[in-house]
């Protein structure tokens, strides 16, 4: 049995695939599964089914000093099973838990924005950063542009056990604290959700939307943490600790749990005049990826053991204290003390090629591919501090689009359009003539 719907343009030669129409690759369903890659949405890989099953079995049965992340709650016949929706299979599109998860996701996003503004307001008085969480690298680039210190060193790490080992009671304690703090600051005990709009309702007088008391939110969080299930090999597993994996609200739960830990530690231990009071302004975290740069890096690393719960393991990801990759940026402290940034693409480190953009002859609209090209150029511009790095990455991008059969005329037109509509590019690199030469040579 073969599926003609999955197409690849770059594969290992020894994979058991068949060639279909137009030399597109058709995957034999029995040998491979489509899996998500990393935590980035929209990234998928064709994975060996045997390897995938071995990995799943290992993960579900791994036990730490505090016990297993998943425990078997029921044994079922894998042939005749029809899973009850009330078992709340995490990630299932028809799970009865999904509407509640989406609702919680909206509310936690709203509270995240309120908490950010609250922390920034306090920072305005004592200049101590209490909020590390970021949504993108924009604020990171802004801060790095102000660094001018030869002694600056980088610490970059990720929390390897956030989604598998953090006790549920710790998650609830931190999120309940946040809810109480934000509702008190807003002078309200109710919140209203209407479509994508979320707002506080001081008098519980709203006649439209869905209204929640702050204690209702605590109940929703407890319910979602307690009802996270996975089915594998005839066994029904219940997640006993860690952030529910595959839940819509999981990124927000993880992010805000860590944000409260950071806020509480800094509030209780860091005052004006503390050696780290200024250095914390150059600390950033994207969910479970942490970045810090200062001349007091070792002191910051030391306090992380007290700042975060003991069940969390921080694994350093950079080996050179002067260089690091953080999200989609490559960061380097130069000999002058300034910080140099460029675009980092994790797939560059892979030993195989990766399909990143839609082929010109695919059934995806051409405009979507060209819009992606435009967005990528803007991303390169924002991340590259030097013109030569911008030029190198843009040429690389243009060559890739030529390889997937985009006509040069269409490509040139879109590149010119992007450069003309984004004068900030020419202003940043103080050049335009080189762009014209580039477009005729790539």
Q: Name the pLDDT band for 235 (thresholds 50, 70, 90).
A: confident
Percentage of the chain lying above the pLDDT 90 cut: 55
Average pLDDT over residues 328-343: 95
Its pTM stands at: 0.83
When the pLDDT of each residue in the chain is averaged and rounded to a whole number, the result is 84
Same domain, 361 and 275: no
Q: Which of 12-16, 137-141, 416-420 has the lowest mean pLDDT?
A: 12-16
What does the pLDDT read at residue 286?
A: 95
**Number of compact structural domains in the chain:** 3
Q: Which of 337, 358, 393 is the last residue of a domain?
A: 337
What does the pLDDT read at residue 438?
A: 59
Q: Name the pLDDT band for 10 (thresholds 50, 70, 90).
A: very low
pLDDT tens-digit profile of 288-331? 999 999 999 999 999 999 999 999 999 999 999 999 999 999 99
What does the pLDDT read at residue 238?
A: 83
Pairing of strands 314-316, 153-159: antiparallel
Same domain, 320 and 389: no
Q: Which of 283, 317, 337 is the last residue of a domain?
A: 337
Distance in angstroms (rounded) separating the CA atoms of residues 317 and 323: 10
Same domain, 129 and 152: yes
Tell me which of 147 and 3 has the higher pLDDT: 147
Same domain, 358 and 311: no
pLDDT tens-digit profile of 350-384? 787 788 888 999 898 999 999 999 999 999 999 99
Same domain, 388 and 248: no
Domain that holds residue 300: 95-337
Percentage of the chain lying above the pLDDT 70 cut: 82
In a domain, 430, yes or no: yes
Same domain, 307 and 408: no
Same domain, 137 and 276: yes
In a domain, 77, yes or no: no
In a domain, 105, yes or no: yes
In a domain, 277, yes or no: yes
Q: Which of 91-100, 290-299, 400-409, 416-425 has the lowest mean pLDDT?
A: 91-100
Same domain, 333 and 350: no
Residue 422 tokens read as: 């984004």
In a domain, 224, yes or no: yes
Q: How far is CA 236 from CA 18, 37, 189, 337, in A?
A: 36, 24, 38, 55
Same domain, 163 and 311: yes
The closest of 437, 342, 426 to 386, measured between CA atoms, is 342
Question: Cα–chain-centroid distance for residue 351?
Answer: 23
In a domain, 81, yes or no: no
Write the DSSP string, 187-218: T-SEEEEETTEEEE-TTS---SSEEEEHHHHH
Same domain, 24 and 53: yes
Q: How far is CA 349 from CA 315, 346, 352, 427, in A?
A: 19, 6, 9, 32
What does the pLDDT read at residue 436?
A: 54
What does the pLDDT read at residue 267?
A: 93
């Amino acid at each position: 049995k073969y599926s003609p719907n999955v197409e690849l343009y770059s594969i290992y030669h020894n994979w058991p695939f068949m060639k279909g129409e137009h030399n597109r690759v058709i995957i034999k369903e029995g040998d491979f599964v489509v899996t998500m890659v990393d935590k980035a949405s929209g990234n998928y890989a064709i994975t060996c089914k045997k390897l995938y099953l071995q990995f799943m079995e290992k993960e579900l049965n791994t036990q730490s000093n505090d016990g297993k992340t998943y425990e078997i709650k029921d044994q079922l016949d894998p042939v005749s099973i029809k899973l009850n929706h009330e078992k709340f299979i995490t990630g299932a599109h028809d799970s009865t838990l999904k509407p509640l998860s989406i609702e919680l996701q909206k509310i936690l996003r709203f509270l995240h924005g309120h908490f950010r503004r609250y922390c920034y307001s306090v920072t305005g008085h004592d200049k101590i950063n209490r909020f590390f969480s970021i949504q993108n690298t924009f604020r990171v680039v802004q801060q790095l542009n102000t660094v001018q210190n030869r002694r600056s060193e980088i610490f970059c790490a990720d929390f390897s056990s956030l989604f598998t080992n953090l006790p549920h009671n710790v998650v609830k304690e931190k999120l309940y604290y946040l809810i109480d703090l934000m509702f008190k600051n807003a002078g309200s005990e109710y919140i209203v959700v209407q479509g994508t709009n979320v707002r506080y309702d001081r008098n519980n007088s709203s006649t439209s939307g869905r209204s929640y008391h702050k204690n209702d939110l605590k109940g929703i969080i407890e319910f979602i943490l307690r009802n996270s299930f996975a089915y594998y090999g005839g066994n029904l597993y219940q997640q006993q600790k860690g952030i529910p994996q595959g839940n819509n609200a999981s990124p927000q739960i993880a992010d805000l749990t860590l944000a409260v830990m950071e806020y509480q530690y800094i509030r209780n231990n860091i005052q004006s005049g503390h050696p780290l009071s200024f250095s914390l302004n150059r600390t950033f975290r994207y969910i479970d990826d942490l970045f810090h740069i200062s001349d007091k890096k070792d002191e910051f690393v030391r306090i992380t053991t007290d700042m975060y719960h003991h069940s969390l393991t921080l694994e350093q990801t950079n080996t050179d204290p002067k260089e690091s990759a953080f999200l989609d940026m490559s960061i380097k402290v130069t000999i002058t003390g300034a910080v140099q940034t460029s675009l980092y693409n994790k797939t560059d480190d892979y030993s195989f090629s990766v399909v990143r953009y839609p082929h010109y002859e695919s059934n995806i609209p051409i405009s979507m591919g060209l819009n992606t090209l435009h967005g990528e150029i803007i991303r390169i511009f924002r991340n590259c501090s030097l013109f030569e790095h911008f030029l190198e990455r843009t040429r690389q991008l243009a060559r890739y689009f030529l390889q997937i059969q985009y006509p040069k005329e269409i490509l040139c037109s879109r590149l010119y359009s992007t450069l003309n509509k984004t004068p900030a590019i020419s202003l940043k690199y103080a050049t335009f003539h080189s762009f014209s030469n580039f477009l005729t040579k790539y």
